[in-house]
């Protein structure tokens, strides 16, 4: 794992030193490497603008575009979008989930999902915005891109 990712996961807001234990011949069975953890990157959650619920017009336009690729509006039950992806096998489905999870972690925006073998059902909504937001739409498009790259 790169040091800048370690900094993100540690939620470190200032420069720190980190010691990474690596196997080596020594009386203690390991030696350490020292690196510097830098402040958050510009894509980290603390630099994200506040998440706002889409307006009626924005929502309508987004749902029209996403509906063409298989995303389903879950209203009136709740203000969210949902899609089911089918992959060749579990490894491919898990790989898809991993790619989405890694991107989601960088902006602290996580999906609701359900996985059974080669099928992944994913739902996007923004709890902080109390409904569908621009981030949800962007992540839905990212999911479609990743799934297409993986042959789903």
By percentage, how much of the chain surpasses pLDDT 70? 68
| Domains within the chain, CATH numbers bracketed | 3-45 (no CATH), 48-149 (3.30.1360.20)
pTM score of the predicted model:
0.67
- pLDDT band at residue 106 under the 50/70/90 scheme: very high
Helical segments of 2-133, H only: 3-10, 56-67, 90-107
Specify the pLDDT at position 111. 95
Residue 100 in tokens: 């989405």
Cα(52)–Cα(59) distance, integer angstroms: 12
pLDDT at 57 over 80: yes
> What is the reported pLDDT for 19?
41
Tokens found for residue 5: 């990712």
């Amino acid at each position: 794992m790169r040091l800048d990712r370690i900094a993100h996961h540690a939620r470190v807001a200032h420069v720190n030193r980190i010691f990474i234990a690596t196997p080596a011949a020594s009386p203690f069975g390991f030696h350490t490497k020292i690196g510097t953890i830098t402040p958050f990157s510009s894509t980290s959650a603390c630099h994200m603008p506040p998440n706002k619920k889409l307006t009626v017009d924005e929502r309508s336009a987004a749902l029209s575009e996403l509906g063409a690729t298989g995303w389903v509006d879950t209203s009136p039950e709740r203000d969210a979008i949902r899609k089911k992806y089918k992959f060749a096998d579990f490894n491919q489905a898990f790989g898809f989930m991993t790619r989405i999870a890694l991107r989601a972690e960088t902006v602290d925006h996580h999906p609701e999902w359900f996985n059974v073998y080669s099928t992944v059902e994913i739902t996007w909504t923004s709890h902080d915005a109390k409904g569908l937001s621009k981030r949800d739409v962007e992540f839905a498009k990212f999911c479609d891109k990743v799934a297409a790259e993986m042959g789903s």
